[in-house]
Chain A
Amino acid sequence: MSSRRSRSRQSAGSSRISDDQINDLVSKLQQLLPELRNRSSDKVSSARVLQETCNYIRNLHREVDDLSERLSVLLETTETSSAQAAIIRSLLM
């Protein structure tokens, strides 16, 4: 999938982006969003999906910020080795 194809060859109709492809990808995105997952696709517009996607990603960023803060505090008060071993064990088993 080259994203560097020469754009000088683009003329009307040969941009190869069809509505079907867009709708397909948009519905895949919709499945990832907890807000919109359960609604059927004919009721949710693509613009809405994109908007919700932005909101969702921002929420995730905020969660990461929040978790980082908590880790920052927790890191202070724990022994590295035992906690680390416990984490690795629980994540890998």
Chain B
Amino acid sequence: MLSRRGFSMSALRKVLSPAFRLDSEWQKRHSDLKALNLGGDYEWIAAVQKKFVGGGRASAVDVDAAACLSEESDQLEDVLELVYKLRHTDNAADLLPSTEYATLRLLLKHGAENELFKVLNDPINYGIFPNYHSAGLLLDHFLRAENFPAAAKIATILMQQEMFDHEVLNLLALYALLKFTELPSEARSFDETIQKKTVVVDEDDINEEELRSMKFPFLKNPFFDGHFDLEETDALVGKALSWFNRELASRIGANGAQIDLLATALTSDLEAVGKAVAKASNVSPSVAATVKSVLEKAVGGIPEEGREENDQFKAIQTISTKLESSTSTSTPALSATVLEALKTVQQAGEEAIVKEQKTLFTDWNTARKARALMQAERVNLRLRIAEIKAEIAQHEARKEELFFFENRVRWEDKAAEQDKLFEEFNLNNKDETVTESEYAKEMFEKALEQKRKQATA
């Protein structure tokens, strides 16, 4: 069934090929993990949780093994808890890349979108970042499900981490962003699941009685860095569009001006939009529709009375007319153009990422094994040291016994010293006015002092 516009059947498959998922290679990790002899997955997770109890800590390898072993949905919460706990220790820097990858794959496997975005939106507390392959998997998953807001959010995460090395992912992310902008304006927002927003606490909810003071040498100046601090949907999507446009300038070519127009409409003021409209030609109807909806929202902000005379309204009208004149119905939707470009690089691009990921799998396995062995060796060495110390103490005691008579003079001197001190402190005469507990305390303190003197002598 060929559509009239001449798009082939393959264009309907708007996503990456199933071979990209590397399911079988990922499953192979279990055979390597079995070699570590960790017992069952539930048991290992419980063991790692026990390590964290009471202020203790587990190592990055432990958490990694727990994350990689997990396959079931009820282990998901526990794995996230372990990752959170590791991130809040000194060893946060040791987090292995395979842990991040395994957690994201587990979240995707069970379609736990709430947890997924909770983790992705909170990099400081979780430390889970997608790598190129997992980013591809995430984009793929959401585009297949036609969840364009979620796919656009993943694209903005790629923009924030500046992961622009693979062209195929750049194009896929751009495609996701464009599909998002082509949605009607009511659907064009990141809801609470996908985007975390800073909650402004109401004045009434602040408990004035419980006043806590926190002292620091220097107080922080509020600063909006316009990158990680972005929370508004339009700002995020606009910035992502302009950055991907810059990275794909050579591939996109003439359509770059249209993407620029979209980005400017979403982020900047009217003057900039006017300039961008002037630069764009043969604007596709989809882009025009999006820009129009943004302009309509701006018009909605101007009060009804005296609207005709308002300067801003007139500016908006000029831009709208210019836009209408630049629009040409023969230009296909921008997302379709990007999709065509994606098709040309898809196979080679996918192969590159897949190859990289396969080598990563083997590297991760060897690294994990090496670290697990090192950890086990360290534990064994610690036990051995304790054993050796006990043995030494034993030998010292035996030596004292054996050389008792040779050291007779030394013992006699020591005894004389003790006698003198007993005399000094009058310990021979038991004072009947002193209570039992006071007497015991006195004796204890004197004995401690003696020990200290002997240590320094």
Partners in one complex: no
Which residues of B come within 8 Å of A, CB atoms?
Answer: none
